[in-house]
Amino acid sequence: MTIIETAKMTSKGQVTIPSQIRKLLHLEEGASVAFGLGKGGVLLMPCEVIAKSPYTAKEWEKIEKLAVEKGKVFSDMDAARKHLTSL
pLDDT at residue number 27: 95
Pair 39, 9 in one domain = yes
Q: What is the largest CA-CA distance in the chain?
A: 63
pLDDT at residue number 70: 64
Pair 17, 38 in one domain = yes
Pair 62, 43 in one domain = no
pLDDT at residue number 71: 63
pLDDT at residue number 62: 87
pLDDT at residue number 35: 95
Pair 76, 42 in one domain = no
Give the range of the structural domain holding residue 67, as residue numbers without chain letter.
57-86
CATH number at residue 12: 2.10.260.10
| Neighbour tally for 63: CB within 10 Å | 17
Q: Going residue by residue through the chain (87 aa), what tens digit of pLDDT does each one get?
A: 677 889 999 999 999 999 999 999 999 999 999 999 988 889 999 999 998 889 999 998 888 887 777 666 788 888 888 888 887
Total tally of structural domains belonging to the chain: 2
pLDDT at residue number 1: 63
Q: CA-CA-CA-CA torsion for 43, 47, 53, 56, nearest 10 degrees?
A: -80
Three-state secondary-structure class, residue 40: coil
Residues in a beta bridge with 42: 37
Pair 22, 64 in one domain = no
